[in-house]
Amino acid sequence: GEDVEQSLFLSVREGDSSVINCTYTDSSSTYLYWYKQEPGAGLQLLTYIFSNMDMKQDQRLTVLLNKKDKHLSLRIADTQTGDSAIYFCADTNFGNEKLTFGTGTRLTIIP
């Protein structure tokens, strides 16, 4: 079956950039997402990218998509303590609302 993989942990100094990586196996993925989960809460959609795009920028967030390598990354510029959370990548196919989630990457900010 389809697989979405992420590393489990990332530590970054406050003010530096964070880069969270994700690989997926489904070549027919249409939408790829980044969700954020703060402690004790459910997931919230952070940003998404359509598969015909290479890059999407939204304020401090930059999403890069390498379709050939099936690699997705999320860059957070000027990382703040409020960015501490678990970040999940997920994908789906057009017309299908079922999401496949990665394992999540726990981002820890070092003061």
Partner 1 sequence: NAGVTQTPKFQVLKTGQSMTLQCAQDMNHEYMSWYRQDPGMGLRLIHYSVGAGITDQGEVPNGYNVSRSTTEDFPLRLLSAAPSQTSVYFCASSSGTSRVYEQYFGPGTRLTVT
Which residues form the interface with partner 1 (CB under 8 A)?
4, 6, 8, 31, 40-45, 48, 88, 92, 97-99, 101-104
Cβ neighbours for 87, distance < 8 A, ≥ 6 positions apart: 6, 20, 34, 35, 36, 37, 46, 74, 104, 105, 107
Which residue lies nearer to partner 1 by CB, 41 or 55?
41
Q: Which amino acid is at 25?
A: T
Residue 69 C-beta: closest distance to partner 1, Å: 21
How remote is the C-alpha of 39 from its chain's centroid? 17
Which residue lies nearer to partner 1 by CB, 40 or 111?
40
Residue 104 C-beta: closest distance to partner 1, Å: 5
